[in-house]
Structure formats: C-alpha cells, structure tokens
Amino acid sequence: MSRVCVISPFTGLAGDMLLAALVDAGAPLDAVRAAVSETGLTGWDLSVPSVLTHGLTGSRAVVTVSDTATSRTAAELIGMAGRVRDRAVADIAVAALRAIAEVEGRLHGEDPERVHLHELGGHDTLVDIVGVAAALRALDVEAVHCEALPIGSGSVRTAHGVLPCPAPATSALLAGARVVGTSLVGETVTPTAAALLRAIGASYEPAPAMRMSATGYGVGTRTLPDRPNVAVVRLGDVPDGAVRDLVVLETNLDDVTGEVLGYVVGLLLELGALDCWITPATMKKGRPGHVLHALVAPESAEVVARRMLVETGSLGVRRTSVERTAVPRTTSVVEVRGMAVRRKHGPYHGKPEYDDAVAVARETGLPLRTVLDMASEEER
C-alpha cells in the first residue's frame, strides 16, 4: 500500500493553508515544530487552533513572532532549511526555497542567492515550507495530487508595487500546473504554495482510486462573504499495482502536419490526458498518415475528444475502454548546478523530470544529456 495526498484548493492555496490542512488531517504538530526548530529559527511559535467559518470547522496555522527580523536573503533561508536532520524534509524545503529564489532573481535581474525576499523572507515562509515538508513526511505520504488551482483576478500589493494577479513569481512557479478561473478577486495562490507544489512533485493528473483515511481543512486568513476560505486535503491508501478503468481515444490523420500534431499532443496533456502519443501508419490508397492516441480518465474523455476533433479537423474519434495497472510512484529532488531537478521513481526504475532538466540545460548551457546524467549521478 502507498499513501496518497489529494489537495483540493477550494478557494485557493497558501503555504499556511496547506500546513493547517495537513495538521487537521492528522500530522503531529510536535513533529512539525521539531523540524522547524532544527533550522535554527528563533523568536517564533506555531499554533494550529480550530476555527469555524461559514458553518465549517477547520484549522488555521498561526505563527507568532517575537523578534524583529522581517526579511532574509534567499541564501540565508536555504541554509537554514538545509539544517533539518531528516534529509527528505530538508530536500523539499531547500528545493521550494531555491525555486522561489530563481524565479525572483530572474524577474528582478538579481543573483538568486542575493535575492532579498521581502514578503517571503520572514518567519512565516520558513515555518510554512519546512512545516509542510515535515507534515507530509510524518503522514508517510508518497505521492501528492493537486486538483486545478483557482486563479483570481485583480491586483496584489508587493514590495515592488502593485502587480497583476496572479503575481509574476506565482505565475512562473505554476508552469505546468493545471489552473482554472474563479470569480474571486485578489491573490488566491501564493508563491510559497506554488513553490511547495513544485518541490513535492505534485501531479495534476486525477488521483487513483484509493481507500480514504482522513480529511483535513486548512483555513486561510482572508474572510470571504459567501463561502469558507479553505484548502482541503484527503489522505488515502492505494494498493500496489492498483487497476483503474480508463479510455483510449484514437483518430486517423493523413492531412495534418507534424508541427500541428506536436502542438496537439501538448495541448491534450494540458487538458487532462494521462498520456498521448502518435503512431505512423499507412492509410488507404497508400497515403502516409498518423494515428493520434490519448489515454484519459472517463470523466475527461468528452473534453479531450472534442479538442482532438477541433484541432485536427478529423471526422471522428474512436473510444476503447481499457484497464491500467499503475504501480506506486514517488518523487525526490536533487540539485544540478544549484538548480532543483525532480526525479520520478517507480518500484523498478527512476528518471529525472524532463522539464526540470531542460530548464537547467538552458540556464547553464550544458547539453541536456549531460544534465540528465548529472541528475542521475546526484541521486546515486
């Protein structure tokens, strides 16, 4: 059995909301406090009281600060996070902080190590990031799935002035995430939450069938007039080699260019396809062509099939019901030239995350194959 955590960002997601939800779901608060204490952070206290909001009882993470340090450089925070004795916790925390530093440095033209994190450099950020990593570890979570993140409109006030929502740093950190529009105005996803999702290797695919064991509600500090401001986590156990009913969509194409096919593959994956691939084929009258395939959950089949038709101009899509046996998978984080690279692991094999390796290759000028080899060697 493997433990899975599903995040449902009902009104959005912040680091403190995720931390509170995990504690509400059963993560021991003492383990969270102990991990934060190992960073050497002083002048803080963390409490997670129960609160009632719009008829729903949840938990709120409250950090009380008794010293005057309100901001720190990224290098300081990363160094403190690296002191946590549990390496799995430290690696997630360091990866999240590095991700924030790299994005902020790129946006503001600064060395990531020297970036001064104004809104994110105080006690709250370190407590939230280390706390979430420690809570996931204490709950024995092996995989995290996140539902689509609601993105608010309007603006947010920062140390750099008024910026559009989502903040540029949040937008950059959410590259590859599934998002959806919302009627809420203002910041609904924070940079800390976005960095945590990236560092823990959250999947935006539908979660597998699981036996649910606990639910936690994390309440945010913002009060909404018509609904509780909460993020929800659900914990469950997935049997090893769990079987799931899926659908394969297929269409034959003989008049679509390779450039369009490549675009469609990426688009279908963004729409929720679990996998997508192209098979060369010889069509009627000897014409060369391709078969476009997409593996989808039943609830996503209609949306993906319609997009296949719209994008390719095909006159039909075939549907075949299949069963997939999925083995448990986990994610770790290694560093290559100071940049975080996630590694995906199954029970028999592991490999670096392609998008992360590409980012390192572009930033450093190293060949992609060298980055992939370095990430594998770092894991060993």
CATH of the domain at 278: 3.30.70.1380
pLDDT, position 300: 82
Pull the structure tokens for residue 194: 């976005």
Q: pLDDT (tens digit, 9 = 90+) per residue, 305-324?
A: 999 999 999 999 999 999 88
Residue 34, Cβ density class (10 Å: 0-12 exposed, 13-18 middle, ≥19 buried): middle
Residues 20 and 119 in one domain: yes
Both 306 and 361 in one domain: the answer is no
Of 212, 238, 264, which residue is a domain's last? 238
- Same-domain pairing of 217 and 280: no
Distance CA 29, CA 60 (A): 12
One domain, residues 359 and 266: no
H/E element holding 305? helix 301-312
Q: Are 289 and 261 in contact (CB under 8 A)?
A: no
pTM exceeds 0.85 = no
CA-to-CA distance for 357 and 78, rounded, in angstroms? 21
pLDDT tens figures, 77-113 = 899 999 999 988 999 999 999 898 888 878 766 666 6
Exposure string of 42-55, with b = 16+ CB inside 10 Å and e = fewer, is: eebebebeebebee
pLDDT tens sequence across 334-372: 889 888 888 888 777 888 988 889 999 999 999 999 999
- Please give the share of the chain, as a percent, with pLDDT higher than 70: 90
Examine the domain organization and report whether 209 and 90 are in the same domain. Answer: yes
Name the token pair of 146: 């996140």
- List pLDDT tens digits, range 164-190: 778 888 999 998 889 999 988 889 999
Helix and strand counts by DSSP (H, E) for the chain: 11, 21
Angstrom distance (rounded) from CA 279 to CA 293? 8
pLDDT digits (tens, 9 = 90+) for 12-66: 999 999 999 999 999 999 999 999 999 999 889 999 999 999 999 999 999 998 8
**In terms of domains, do 123 and 203 share one?**
yes
Task: Compute the CA torsion angle 304, 310, 315, 321 (nearest 10 deg).
Answer: 0
**In a shared domain, residues 219 and 336:** no
318 in the same domain as 199: no
Give phi and psi for 243, each to the nearest 5. -100, 135
Contact 172, 107 (CB under 8 A): yes
Question: In this structure, how many other beta carbons lie within 10 angstroms of the beta carbon of residue 66?
Answer: 9
295 and 367 within one domain: no
Question: How many residues does the structure list for the chain?
Answer: 380
**How big is the CA angle at 126 (ends 61 and 340), to the nearest 5 degrees?**
125
Q: Which long-range contacts (CB under 8 A, 24 or more apart) does 208-212 make?
A: 208/4, 208/238, 208/242, 208/244, 208/326, 209/238, 209/242, 209/244, 210/4, 210/236, 210/237, 210/238, 210/242, 211/236, 211/237, 211/238, 212/236
Q: Which of 183, 213, 238 is the last residue of a domain?
A: 238
Range with the lowest mean pLDDT among 107-116, 121-130, 218-227, 263-272?
Answer: 107-116
Q: Are residues 172 and 38 part of one domain?
A: yes
Cα angle for residues 350, 355, 361 (degrees, 5° grid): 100
Phi, psi of 73 (to 5 degrees): -75, 160
**Residue 262, CA distances (Å) to 265, 272, 278 in order:** 5, 16, 9
Q: Which residues make Cβ contacts (< 8 Å) with residue 52, sequence separation at least 6?
A: none
Pair (218, 268) in one structural domain = no
Among residues 186, 217, 238, the one where a domain terminates is: 238
Q: How many domains does the chain have?
A: 3
CB 165 within 8 A of CB 151: yes
Is 93 found in the same domain as 222? Answer: yes
Domain that holds residue 45: 2-238
Task: Tell which residue, 332, 334, 345, has the closest CA to residue 374.
Answer: 334
